[in-house]
């Protein structure tokens, strides 16, 4: 797949400085750009690479004026950083449209029963299992070795990568992306202690609901609710190896970096940001737009929105830094 500077400029609404017919097939970082690559310059500290890069095309801001001659064709846009995000999405869409997949996997157990349950434009790879009552929307991509349980509902334009497991009765919204190894709807961690020291399993009868535009990283797990639903609201982005326990509710447009863990029945407000390896206690409330630094541990309600927290137990960032200065001085004695 190759795109010309002219095609890219038309797509992005940019102005070409150089050869409009030069072709590129892949994006790259400007410092490593080679012939056939398209790069971008948004941060002035990388300007020096513009004059030495081997890339064929470079996206730049309209306000930028080069100090030296530039070998590459430049495309001037309003915002180079935003333009490269649009361009990467454009490349991805073109790649998807070229993919040749089976309209129905030949490894279905009940292929006849699935007629009408796979939406138009969707493709399903080999070694996929779709159980009775499950429905897949339009323009979806279901990669090999995916399991879709009974009565699962999957919206339109959903991409499910290899090895994803979606248990029965779960709901996946439109435009979601589930990366390899995700498990959606496994039983929540619910056990009642007995007098003899053993544990009785508490049946988990609910489901998981992912709303539209949710993306889950590789090997991320979202457990089903004991009753009701574990809900991941619209626009949430979870990194690899994130654990969301039963009956949790994650507010819209919240993002979590890798290895975060959220215990059961916690309510997270919208627009929150969690750094890597954060630990969140169960049955607590976290206000909207709360930011947790990496490895923060929050074990109680946090009701003040828009604060930056750090440490274990979590406290406001500046309070933590003052406390840390005391720890450090004492440790030096």
Which pLDDT belongs to residue 131?
92
From-to residues of CATH 3.40.1390.10 in the chain: 3-98
What is the DSSP pairing of strand 315-316 with strand 308-310? antiparallel
DSSP string, 86-122: HHHHHHHHHHHHH----SS-TT-S-GGGGTTTB-TT-
Alpha-carbon span 249 to 238, nearest angstrom: 13
What are the catalytic residues? Answer: 246
From-to residues of CATH 2.160.10.10 in the chain: 164-322
**pLDDT tens digit at each of 333 positions of the chain:** 789 999 999 999 999 999 999 999 888 999 999 999 999 999 999 999 999 999 999 999 999 999 999 999 999 999 998 998 888 888 777 766 555 555 555 444 444 345 448 899 999 998 999 999 999 999 999 999 999 999 999 999 999 999 999 999 999 999 999 999 999 999 999 999 999 999 999 999 999 999 999 999 999 999 999 999 999 999 999 999 999 999 999 999 999 999 999 999 999 999 999 999 999 999 999 999 999 999 999 999 999 999 999 999 999 999 998 988 888 887 676
Q: Which of 78, 121, 116, 83 is nearest to 99 (CA)?
A: 121
The CATH superfamily label for domain 3-98 reads MurE/MurF, N-terminal domain (3.40.1390.10)
Length of the chain: 333
CA torsion, ordered 253, 259, 264, 266, to nearest 10 deg: -40
Whether the CB-CB separation of 36 and 24 falls below 8 Å is answered with yes
Alpha-carbon span 284 to 290, nearest angstrom: 14
Helix (H, G, I), strand (E, B) or coil at 321: helix
Alpha-carbon span 272 to 126, nearest angstrom: 38
Sign (positive or negative) of CA dihedral 110, 115, 119, 124: positive
At the topology level of CATH, where does 164-322 sit?
UDP N-Acetylglucosamine Acyltransferase; domain 1 (2.160.10)
Q: Hunting for tokens 């915002």 — which residue is that? A: 79
């Amino acid at each position: 797949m190759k795109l010309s500077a002219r095609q890219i400029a038309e797509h992005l609404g940019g102005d070409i400085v150089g050869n409009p017919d030069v072709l590129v097939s892949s994006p790259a970082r400007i410092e490593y750009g080679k012939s056939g690559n398209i790069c971008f310059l948004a941060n002035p500290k990388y300007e020096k690479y513009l004059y030495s890069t081997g890339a064929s095309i470079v996206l730049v801001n309209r306000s930028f004026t080069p100090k030296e001659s530039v070998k590459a064709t430049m495309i001037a846009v309003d915002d180079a950083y935003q333009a490269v995000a649009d361009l990467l999405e454009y490349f991805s869409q073109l790649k998807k449209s070229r993919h040749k997949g089976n309209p129905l996997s030949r490894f279905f157990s009940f292929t006849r029963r699935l007629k009408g349950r796979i939406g138009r434009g969707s493709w399903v790879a080999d070694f996929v299992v779709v159980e009775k009552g499950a429905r897949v929307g339009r323009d979806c991509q279901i990669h090999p070795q995916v399991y879709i349980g009974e009565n699962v509902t999957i919206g339109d334009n959903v991409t499910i990568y290899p090895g994803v497991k979606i248990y029965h009765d779960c709901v996946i919204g439109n435009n979601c992306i589930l990366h390899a190894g995700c498990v959606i709807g496994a039983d929540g961690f619910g056990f009642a202690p007995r007098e003899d020291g053993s544990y009785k399993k508490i049946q988990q009868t609910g489901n998981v609901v992912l709303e539209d535009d949710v993306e889950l990283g590789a090997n991320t797990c979202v457990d089903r609710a004991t009753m009701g639903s574990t809900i991941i609201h619209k626009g949430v982005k979870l990194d690899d190896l994130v654990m969301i326990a039963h009956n949790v509710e994650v507010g819209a447009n919240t993002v979590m970096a890798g290895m975060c863990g959220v215990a059961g029945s916690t309510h997270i407000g919208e627009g929150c940001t969690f750094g890597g390896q954060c630990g969140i206690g169960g049955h607590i409330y976290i206000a909207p737009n709360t930011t947790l630094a990496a490895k923060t541990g929050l074990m109680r309600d946090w009701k003040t929105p828009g604060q930056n927290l750090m440490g274990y137990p979590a406290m406001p960032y500046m309070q933590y830094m003052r406390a840390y200065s005391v720890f450090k001085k004492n440790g030096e004695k």
